[in-house]
Structure 1
Amino acid sequence: MTKVTLYIAASLDGYIARSDGGIDWLSILDIEEEDYGYTDFYESIDAIVMGSKTYEVGLGFDKWPYPDKKSFVFTQRHLKSDREDVVFVSDTVQQALANIEAQGLENIWLVGGGALINSFLQHNLIDEYIISIIPTILGGGIQLFPPPTPEEKLELIHSKQYPSGLLQAHYKPIRLG
């Protein structure tokens, strides 16, 4: 059974990027010898799912940010990559997740963006939320949970505060039945 974890940073006012997709505001977290649990989390996952805009942000880094992990990029556009570890997906999130599971990939990192997160939410496909709240108010941009967002009750599993002011909260959905 696959487990999908939304592991993401958001501004205090709920944005994951600027309107133009920029994430430069995350640089306030660049503190030597602090990775906010990222390395342990990254080692625990088998594959990554992301939207095409998030994929394009990743292409803008000096090197591909998700080495040694298969990345499934949801898009309706005809994108191409020379990387063997990048797969473009146009299926529904349910069908794509079934195909990912059929490949034996169990621990899935839902990177973003907002529209893809919403699709997973609409179908109750997020098993854990690890949200890092950045002590910044952006005032606008790409929302973490763009409307319409279904209601979902969550249980806090763990939280941790870092000297940078980042607050990381780990939740599980409360699902009845």
Structure 2
Amino acid sequence: MTRTQYYVAASLDGYIADSAGKLDWLFQFNDAEGVTEHYQAFIDSVGPLAMGSATYEFILGENQPWSYADRPTWVFTHRTLPAIPGANLHFTTEDVGAVHSQMVEAAAGKNIWLIGGGNLVAQFARRGLLDEILLGVIPVVLGSGIPVLPAALPSPLELTGLTRLGRGMVELRYTVPSRPPAPKG
């Protein structure tokens, strides 16, 4: 069964990027024990991706090859953005509900990864389309920055897994309680 997952890393105080939108504080943990293997197992379970324009532009700014192979990727934006050669991109202004059904079909049984910032994830959550949050907790305190999820999820999340990684990192896996989709608008 396809699950829509928010796979993200955050500082101990709940920020996914510092106040300048940078991730240097996170990248210093890339070589921590178990991180590469854990990420590879996750990405192997993923089909389509969804991201907002800020995340897409961040990836563009890294000047690295597209690392998501031929996975179909929906970029939610109201602007014209350059395409990455070789990437299977779908730029869209559609509502997340309409696009989600397209993503589930494209997933062919794999999971959907909501990648990047919490604003887009909040839209999925408000529509009842978020199944899991996989939160990597990084042992640094930023003091300010971009929050994990700028939306209320008032029902308690169910902790379904805990993975310890090197250098004091952990991943918390939460199931988001089912609720009826919110009305459009």
**Closer/same/farther in 2, CA of residues 162 and 73 from structure 1, 3 Å limit:** same
2:169 alignment partner, one of 166, 170, 174: 166
* SS, match of residue 40 in structure 2: helix
- Which 5+ residue runs of structure 1 have no aligned equivalent? none
Q: Pick which of 57-66 and 135-144 moved more.
A: 57-66
RMSD: 2.0
CA distance in 2, matches of 1:17, 1:113: 9
1:124 CA drift (Å): 1.6
**Closer/same/farther in 2, CA of residues 12 and 91 from structure 1, 3 Å limit:** same
2:159 alignment partner, one of 156, 159, 169: 156
**Closer/same/farther in 2, CA of residues 9 and 138 from structure 1, 3 Å limit:** same
Aligned length: 176
1:139 CA drift (Å): 1.0
Deviations 1:13-65 (A, max 9, x none): 11111233211111221226632611011011111111111111111232223
**Closer/same/farther in 2, CA of residues 36 and 165 from structure 1, 3 Å limit:** farther
1:88 CA drift (Å): 0.7
1:131 CA drift (Å): 0.4
> TM-score when scaled to structure 2?
0.86
1:91 CA drift (Å): 0.6
**Closer/same/farther in 2, CA of residues 33 and 160 from structure 1, 3 Å limit:** closer
Deviations 1:69-115 (A, max 9, x none): 11111111122314341111111110111222344544200112121
Deviations 1:120-163 (A, max 9, x none): 111121111110001111111111111x4241321111101223
Q: Pick which of 163-172 and 1-10 moved more.
A: 1-10
CA distance in 1, matches of 2:148, 2:30: 21
CA distance in 1, matches of 2:122, 2:115: 12
Partner of 1:8: 8
Percent of aligned pairs with the same amino acid: 36
* SS, match of residue 22 in structure 2: coil
Name segments (4+ residues, structure 1) moved above 4 Å: none
**Closer/same/farther in 2, CA of residues 108 and 172 from structure 1, 3 Å limit:** same
> TM-score when scaled to structure 1?
0.89
- Which 5+ residue runs of structure 2 have no aligned equivalent? 181-185
CA distance in 1, matches of 2:32, 2:155: 36
Partner of 1:90: 93
1:131 alignment partner, one of 124, 135, 145: 135
Q: Pick which of 63-72 and 91-100 moved more.
A: 63-72
1:114 pairs with 2:118: yes
**Letter of the structure 2 residue corresponding to residue 89 of structure 1:** T
